[in-house]
Amino acid sequence: MNAVFKRPESLNPALTHFCPGCTHGIAHRLIAEAMDELGIVDRTVGIPGVGCCVFLYTYFPIDVLESPHGRAPACATGMKRAQPDKIIFCYQGDGDMAAIGTSEIIHAANRGENVTVFFINNSVYGMTGGQMAPTTLLGQQTTTSPYGREFKNEGYPIRMAEMLATLEGVAYSTRVSLHSPKHVNQAKKAIIKAFEMQINEMGFSVVEMLSTCNTNWRVSPLEALNVIEREMIPYYPLGVFKERTGKDFL
């Protein structure tokens, strides 16, 4: 029989702890497929942030370095400089990367650290119960913005992929989504491209992925996919915001 779909070699056969319907699991599968296709699993190190991704070591047969909340890019900096032959990726949520870790992500990107960051934008703090994140949409109700986010009080949602793309050290910055098969295929290409940037020593690469948190959004898994299409993409457009083609920074 011809197998058309199978578990990637780089994804452990572990029971998932993610809520049913959460697209964190799809992001994990895509990263595993990318490691398989690039043949890098034996030399890859993952650094999760603190959030629903924190059990990264359960899912990948790689070395994993746990970092304090928001500090994954700083840990990645040290790891890559000490062991430049390793492929280093951070995997961070929006609370982790765009709130408590704003300083670390901006300066690692600005320094052009040759590491890859996978950024899961689900517009809330998922693990801790759905509090407002810097990425929460205007009008979006969360446990800490029960009347909806209001720009006069809480400011505007941050577009991280666009902001990071303005920094000289960034080789690749893109935003993809995980809400449909077509978009999942595009996300995989972006993940591979980001790893290739690191393999080719081009500098810092980041892939922002629009992802569901159906549990804290209080909608069904299916409706959560619609929320991404209907509410997130109009504010967070998909696309490549920067792609370095040569080592013009040397």
Ligand X SMILES: Cc1ncc(C[n+]2csc(CCOP(=O)(O)OP(=O)(O)O)c2C)c(N)n1
**Residues lying near ligand X in the complex (CB under 6 A):** 49-53, 69, 93-96, 120, 122, 124-128, 133, 213
Nearer to ligand X, 43 or 69 (CB): 69
* DSSP assignments along 130-180, one per residue: SEE-TTPPBT--BTTBTT-B-HHHH-PPP-HHHHHHTSTTEEEEEEEE-SS
Binding mask 63-102 toward ligand SF4 (x if CB under 6 A, else -) reads: ----------------------------------------
Please state at what angle helix 72-82 crosses helix 102-110, rounded to 10 degrees: 40
Rounded CA-CA distance 91/157 in Å is: 20
18 binds, among ligand SF4, ligand X, none (CB under 5 to 8 A by kind): ligand SF4
Residue 18 within binding range of ligand SF4, rule CB under 6 A: yes
Residue 24 within binding range of ligand SF4, rule CB under 6 A: yes
Q: Smallest distance, Å, CB 139 to ligand X?
A: 19
Size (the chain), residues: 250
- Contacts with ligand SF4 by CB under 6 A lie at 18-19, 22, 24, 52, 122, 126-127, 213-216
